[in-house]
Amino acid sequence: MSVSDLPKKEGNVLKGHEGAVLAARFNKDGNYCLSCGKDRTIRLWNPHRGIHIKTYKSHGREVRDVHVTSDNSKLCSGGGDRQIFYWDVASGRVIRKFRGHDGGVNAVKFNEYASVVVSAGYDQSLRAWDCRSHSTEPIQIIDSFTDSVMSICLTKTEIIGGSVDGTVRTFDIRMGRELSDDLGQPVNCISMSNDGNCILASCLDSTIRLLDRTSAELLQEYKGHTCKSYKLDCCLTNSDAHVIGGSEDGSIFFWDLVDASVVSSIRAHLSVVTSVSYHPKDNCMISSSVDGTIKVWKT
Amino acid sequence: MDSDEEDFVFYGTPIAREDDVTTSRKKKSVAEASGQLRTLAPWKQEVRDEEGRRRFHGAFSGGYSAGYYNTVGSKEGWTPQTFVSSRKNRAEVKQQDILNFLDEDERAEMEGQSLGTSSQFDTFGLTAADHARKHAEKEQQKRPSAIPGPVPDELVLPATDSIGVKLLLKMGWRHGRSIKDSHADVAYDARREGRKAFLAFSANDAKTQLADSDPIHDNSENYSEQHASDDVRSSQNTPVYVLNPKQDMHGLGFDPFKHAPEFREKKRSRVSDNRGPGNKSSLLLKNSLFGLKSGKAAPGFGIGALEDFDAEDEDVYGSGYDFEETYVEDIDEPTKLIMDSKQTSVRKEPGALSGFRLASNSDYQLERFDPPVVPKDFVPQHKFSGPPETSYKLGDPGPPEVPPPQDNNLKVLIDGVATLVARCGKLFEDLSREKNQSNPMFSFLVGGNGHEYYARKLWEEQQKRGDQTKLQLDGKLSPRTQKMTAEGRGKLLGERPLERSSKDSSTSISSTDAIHLQYNLSDTFTDPSSYSEMPVVAKPFINDAAKQERFEQFLHDKYQGGLRSTESGRASHMSEAARALERLDFEVAAEAIKKGKWSKEISTSLTGGMEFTSGGFVQAKDTQAEDAIPKEVHVKRTEYQWRPSPILCKRFDLIDPYMGKPPPAPRSKSKIETLIFTSDSVKATKEEETIIVKRDSYHIPQPEPQGISKDVADDESGGEVEVENVERPVDLYKAIFSDDSDDEEDISTPNEVNPEKKVEAANTTLNRLIAGDFLESLGKELGLEVPPELPSSTNKTMNSAPPKEIANANSRIYNTYPVEEKPSSTLNVPHASREIVQDRTSERKETVNGNLMGSSAGSNSKYAETASLGNHVDRNSSEKGPLLDRKFKTPSRRHRSSSSSSSSEDESSRKRSRRHRHRHRHSDSDSDSSGDQRDRYHSRSKGKKKGSSREKSSSSRSHSKHKRRSRDSPSRYDYSPEKERSETKRDKHRRRE
């Protein structure tokens, strides 16, 4: 993918959130996107047509993360009210609430079969919640982190969490082991490369780091943006050629994956870019910001 | 009915129905009981139930109930107080305390004993407050005041300051000041600076905020607003109530902006807009940095009414989401209206009411005192006056080695002086030289006889001392003289340092930490260290010479260190606000210079409009600071065991990697230990088996006659054996407390009752006689103790699990006694102690299993049976009687006694073999009908022999362990067989039932 293919042209602007948008995520096929924010709502959009489809309200405080199953039938979300909500997408009703985190929930993710919601909390723990049974107790609590867990990635067999204690921990369910990769810097957000071999970890020293998952080798560092105090997402393009990350000054940076050079940076938002999400197939990207907008970027 | 009945004729007596009978009987019994109760003396009264039986609680909970005369005061016993409250009869809140439950005299006792802090050590002033409160209460009782009821706690304050407050005051704290630790956060400081500037502004132009220039006011204001901004939070622990002049006509305590603090700001700015000449409030409002932080809640959407407003709700994203400028025109603001109406007249004298004149000098002007002038040559660095010799180089070869002088006295003198000088410093040398000028003995001090030796000696001593002090310095002084970094603090606190920060702390100290420190120290002291690093002072304020000068002075102060002083004093002609603003500029400029990023545009913008927007300001600083730090991140990978829950595996469609494995020990408990334990226990169980084999190989496997015979008997005739079990305790007591001849007769009587048992007894005696060495064994038994334990083989027949458990326990215990594991440990005295330890473990196990009763019963039965065998055994058991008693008192003692009795000779090395031999014999004589079983054991032991020999040859360590175990095992089996026997017995009981 050449640099010109990077989505740098502003497309639709999705407005509706009152206040900061904390996360924006494409769904599995990239036709829709979800956002959540400080206004305690989750919103479902069609980013390509720029229309707002639905609002999900139930959270008591800000919603920090949202994830949708691959069949688009269920949502999970978590936020400052320490609960994880399990939603029905169509009806907009909460199917289940999972309580148990002692602090705000920073990130939630479904597993592949949408049978388990894994949540990461400010209470230094990862919790797995069962969606199949009616139990609202966590089926697993991982509390080996020593600080707030900021972000999670799930593979078919692993749970990966990034924490402010500077570690990225991989919990291999199949092997029954935990791999702790200590980066030495608070990890803000982790995101997995599409080939599943690398982990992109956004650290609070304004550096995004690329880790090899098997060897825990630090492959590359991406700098230039500002990431000091906010939870800023980072992601890879769907071709794994570029690294994308938001900055606290409202711009979005594009790095070349291999040589870590800043390929491009666009002045995207007025304020902190909280989240970026790349389309799974097309050259399209959405970004959300504290200024209350979600922007769709196309080539 | 009655009329009907009259018509009938009844023959005979009607048969009472069954239940009628019982109920009537019941009634009768109850009536009887109650009658009895009434008549009997209280201490004789008993509680009976409906059936008329005495109430029985069970042996362990008090036996028969003795009525509530000697238990509790009510029929129901202790009843919990129930909460009853009705509309008419409201429940009172009863505060129960210990005094409610005490008698008069007990209460008096309690009063005398109550503990309190003496006023001297009353850190929190609690006792003082208590005293004051009591006093007030007393006074109130004397002269009832207008407000009835107890004195509220808040009104009564301690008469004196607590010691803590006193200390704080001594340390420079003042009431109302927050006790906060230094905020390392740069942004925080910037914010604070900003706020200062803002406060200065408002002090300058607002008449409404009279006390604004003081941080105290800040606190109090925030109090009234109930906001949670971070700096307020830190100061909330010291509530100080500063009177705010009331300027509006609201009711007392009414705050129109209570829920809309933003408007307060708006209003304030409007007021100042109207009045303040040349104000900059627009800048204030625009700039989120300068805006009051406390008002910064997440805009638009408050939280629920019931939720409290805490730090989480603060808008961390620092706005960017702007409000419409919505004014609330508060009409009920007469002051403002008056202001508006009178504005024209007041114009000339802004801010003054009509009829008043502005004071020429304000009361609220802070009085400033110039700090003492610091001498020019003063170096603000404290040198520790440790041994002065520490400064010399240790690499210095020193004066050449010189042979000591002939005169021994002189040598000793020189040595002494040298030591003293080395210890006390050069001063001592000078002193002694001065003093002893005339003394020829001290001529070595001035270069006379023995000077070289003295020099050498001194050097050596200094060398020695230097080493010591260096060590001390390394240990104590150096960290203190260094700056306390976050890492250092973390290290002190035992925190795990982050990878990177620990690595390049040395480099970061110079740059970032210095900055941080300066921020922290900017109020009182500044740090001198980085002055040298200060780049050439740029001249950002060239246009304004005076300002430039002030700036340089500021820089000087900032980096030179020492008390912050002259800047403020010199610029006293400037207003407070202007000074604060300028200071802010200077800070920024200095920061920029510091970063070496002093670019033209910044300078122009500075000199031009001084428009440092908050975002740009903070951001630039941050990125630059970050850039200054070189980063080398090495990812450290560590692997742990982690156990996913089975259901998680199921949900992930994976096979549980820990399926069927026992749950792991908690991870925090150091995995290594648990690993050791598990491996060891596995080993132990293995060893256990080999030991068993070894034991068996020494002698013909000798099942304890008791267990086996019983088993066999059980096999043969299930029913009858239990009978003897029941009757045995009687035999036992007889065996213990009566003499032999009696025994035989007494024993025979129960035997008569039970022919089966008689037959069995006869069989055993016969077998013994047949065995031939009956007498010999008898003699042995008299000298020794019949080993009370079953051989391990019985254990094995039962089930394998219990021994394993025991082995586990043992191994664990042994791990805690690693010292005792000597490879060459043979059977010597120290083992006794170990045996005791061993014994305790088995004992503990026993109690855990709750089998004490059962085991005792088992042993009882055993002894009873042995008693039934005949005279010799009787004597034996009677001899063991007291032993048996002891047995259940202290396990360790029991074991010791048993072992001592088992070996009349103290050749402990032979003890074992002896015992075995004896047991062998015993088995020959004792084991009766279990011939086939014995054979079976025998063969098995043979089969296992090979394994054991292999084990033996494995290693010396394990060998020794074997030995130990083999020695330990008897003590372990001391109990288990009994337990097992009791178990079998209980089994039988159960079966019978």
Query: Which residue type, as a one-letter code, is found at position B941?
Result: S
Cα angle A141, A146, A151 (rounded to 5 degrees) comes to 65
Beta carbons within 8 Å of B746's beta carbon, 6+ residues apart: B731, B734, B738
- The DSSP letter of residue B290 is T
pLDDT for position B38 = 55
Q: How far is residue B699's CA from residue B705's CA, in Å, rounded to a whole number?
A: 15
Whether the CB of B671 is below 8 Å from some CB of chain A: the reply is: no
Q: Tell which wins on pLDDT, B176 or A76.
A: A76
Q: What is the pLDDT of residue B498?
A: 54
Which ipTM score applies to this complex? 0.86
CB contact under 8 A, B317 and A272: yes
Q: For residues B880 and B897, what is the distance between their CA atoms, to the nearest angstrom?
A: 11
DSSP state string for A218-230: EEEEEESS--SSS
Distance CA(A3)–CA(B882), nearest Å, equals 97
Rounded CA separation B731/B877 (Å) = 11
- Mode of pairing for the β-strands spanning A167-172 and A138-142: unpaired
Of these ranges, B26-40, B702-716, B889-903, the one predicted with the greatest mean pLDDT is B26-40
Predicted confidence band of residue A36 (pLDDT cuts 50, 70, 90): very high
Across the interface, do A270 and B320 touch by the CB < 8 Å criterion?
Answer: yes
* A182–B636 CB contact, under 8 Å: yes
B645 contacts A130? CB cut-off 8 A: no
Would you state the structure tokens that stand for residue B897, as one six-digit string?
A: 């006694």
Distance from CA of B930 to the nearest CA of A (A): 52
Stretch (H or E) spanning A265? strand A262-267
Interface test with A, best of B314, B321, B508 (most A CBs within 10 A): B321
pLDDT computed for residue A265 by the predictor: 86
Contact B878, B719 (CB under 8 A): no
pLDDT reading at B567 higher than 50: no
DSSP 3-state of B982: helix
pLDDT tens readout for residues A121-159? 998 899 999 888 888 888 989 888 888 999 999 988 889
Residue by residue, DSSP assigns B69-132 as: TSS-SSTT-S-PPP----SSSPPP-----GGGG--HHHHHHHHHH-----GGG-TTSHHHHHHH
Residues in chain A with CB shorter than 8 Å from the CB of B304 are 60
pLDDT tens by residue, B268-323: 777 665 554 444 444 444 444 433 444 444 444 544 555 554 555 555 565 444 44
Find residue A126's DSSP bridge partners: A120, A142
Residue B143 predicted with pLDDT over 60: yes
Residue A216 has pLDDT above 60, yes or no: yes
Nearest residue of A to residue B499, measured between CA atoms: A184
Do residue A218 and residue B321 have CB atoms under 8 angstroms apart? Answer: no
Residue of B161 and B693 predicted with greater confidence: B161
Is the pLDDT at B886 greater than 70? The verdict is: no
For B804-842, what is each residue's pLDDT tens digit? Answer: 444 444 444 444 344 444 444 334 444 444 444 444 444
Identify from B324, B508, B633, B655 which residue to disrupt to test chain A contact, counting A C-beta atoms within 10 A and taking the largest count.
B633
Residue-wise burial string across B272-300, b where 16 or more C-beta atoms lie within 10 A, e elsewhere: beebbeebbbeebeebbbbbbbbbbbbbe
> Chain A within 8 Å of B495 (Cβ-Cβ)?
no
Greatest mean pLDDT range, A71-75, B514-518, B672-676, B889-893: A71-75
Which chain B residue lies closest to A184 (C-alpha atoms)? Answer: B499
Q: Do β-strands A63-68 and A74-79 pair in parallel, antiparallel, or remain unpaired?
A: antiparallel
Q: Measured at the alpha carbon of residue A170, what is the angle toward residues A168 and A176, in degrees to the nearest 5?
A: 150
Averaged pLDDT, B395-415:
69
CA distance B315 to B227: 13
Whether residue B540 contacts residue B600, with contact meaning beta carbons closer than 8 Å, is answered with no
**Cross-chain residue pair B667–A144, CB shorter than 8 Å:** yes
Q: Once rounded to an integer, what is the mean pLDDT over residues A224-245? A: 87
**Tokens representing residue B835 in the block:** 């045996």
Higher pLDDT, A272 or B471: A272
Lowest-confidence pick of A265-269, B127-131, B654-658: B127-131
Query: Does residue B899 carry a pLDDT above 60?
Result: no
DSSP state of A63: E
* Contact between A170 and A178 (Cβ < 8 Å): yes
pLDDT greater than 60 at residue B267: yes
Instruction: Kindly report the backbone phi and psi dihedral angles of residue A52, in degrees, each rounded to the nearest multiple of 5, phi listed first.
Output: -90, 125
Highest mean pLDDT out of B9-18, B167-176, B303-312, B471-480: B167-176
Is residue A30 within 8 Å of residue A238, measured between CB atoms?
Answer: no
Of B187, B626, B652, nearest to A173 by CB-CB distance is B652
In the prediction, which pLDDT does B347 show? 46
Q: List, for residues A283-297, the tens digit of each pLDDT value.
A: 889 999 988 889 898
Q: How far apart are CA B867 and CA B878, in angstroms?
A: 9
SS3 call for A200: strand
Residues in chain B closer than 8 A to A59 (CB atoms): none
Chain B: give the shortest CA distance to residue A144, in Å. 9
Least confident piece of the model among B38-52, B77-91, B146-160, B640-654: B146-160
* Rounded mean pLDDT, A235-253: 88
Residue A78 CA to residue A96 CA, distance in Å, equals 12
Cα torsion angle, A223, A225, A229, A233, sign: negative
User: Per-residue confidence at A258, pLDDT binned at 50, 70, 90?
Assistant: confident
Mean pLDDT, chain B, as a whole number? 55
User: Higher pLDDT residue, A192 or B39?
Assistant: A192
Q: Which residue has the higher pLDDT, B426 or B663?
A: B426
Number of H helices, E strands in chain B: 40, 3
When mean pLDDT is compared over B106-120, B391-405, B868-882, B906-920, the highest value belongs to B106-120
pLDDT above 70 (res A197): yes
Please state the φ and ψ torsions of residue B535, each to the nearest 5 degrees: -70, 170
CA distance B297 to B229: 9
Residue B499 with chain A: CB contacts under 8 Å: 166, 182-184
Q: What percent of chain A has pLDDT over 90?
A: 13
Express as a percent the part of chain B with pLDDT over 90. Answer: 0
Task: Identify the band that residue B898 occupies on the pLDDT scale cut at 50, 70 and 90.
Answer: very low
- Average pLDDT for residues A194-217, to the nearest whole number? 88
Asked if B60 has any chain A CB less than 8 Å from its own CB, the reply is no
How much is the pLDDT for B399? 60
- What is the predicted pLDDT for the residue at B736? 63
Task: Identify the band that residue B456 occupies on the pLDDT scale cut at 50, 70 and 90.
Answer: confident
pLDDT of residue A76: 92
What is residue A299's predicted lDDT score, i.e. its pLDDT? 82
B938 pLDDT band, cuts 50/70/90, is: very low
- Has residue B978 got a pLDDT over 70? no
Residues of A in contact with B185 (CB under 8 A): none
Q: Which residues in chain B touch residue A230, judged by CB atoms under 8 angstroms apart? A: 316-317
Q: Is B652 within 8 Å of chain A by CB?
A: yes
Tell me which residue in A157, A172, A180 faces B638 most closely, judged by beta carbons. Answer: A180
**A216 vs B651: CB contact, 8 Å cut-off?**
no
Residue B860 has pLDDT above 80, yes or no: no
Distance CA A30, CA A27 (A): 5
Say yes or no for a CB contact (<8 Å) between B304 and A60: yes
Look at A114 and B986; give whichever has higher pLDDT: A114
Cβ distance of B639 and A179 shorter than 8 Å: yes
- The beta-carbon neighbor of B644 closest among A115, A173, A184 is A173
The percentage of chain B sitting over the pLDDT mark of 70, rounded to a whole number, equals 22
- Residues with Cβ within 8 Å of B691's Cβ and at least 6 positions away in sequence, in order, are B792, B948, B962, B965, B966, B969
B899-902 long-range contacts, Cβ below 8 Å, gap at least 24?
Answer: B899/B832, B899/B835, B899/B971, B901/B784, B901/B785, B902/B784, B902/B785, B902/B787
**Cβ(B202)–Cβ(B272) under 8 Å?**
yes
Of B619, B614, B621, which Cα lies nearest the Cα of B591? B621
Q: Is the pLDDT of residue A178 over 50?
A: yes
Tell me the two tokens of residue B592: 């920029």
Do the Cβ atoms of A228 and B622 come within 8 Å? yes
Structure tokens at A228: 């000091």
Give pLDDT, residue A249.
Answer: 87
**Relative orientation angle of helices B671-698 and B801-815, to the nearest 10 degrees:** 120
Query: Residue A176: its pLDDT value, please?
Result: 86
CB A169 within 8 A of CB A160: yes
Q: Which of chain B's residues have a Cβ under 8 Å away from the Cβ of A155?
A: none
What per-residue confidence (pLDDT) applies to B979? Answer: 45
Q: How far is A91 from chain B (nearest CA, A)?
A: 25
CA–CA distance, B943 with B696 (Å, rounded to integer): 11
Range from A216-225, B83-92, B197-206, B864-873 carrying the lowest mean pLDDT: B864-873
> Which chain A positions have a beta carbon within 8 Å of B496's beta carbon?
146
> For residue B917, how many other CB atoms are within 10 A of its CB?
14
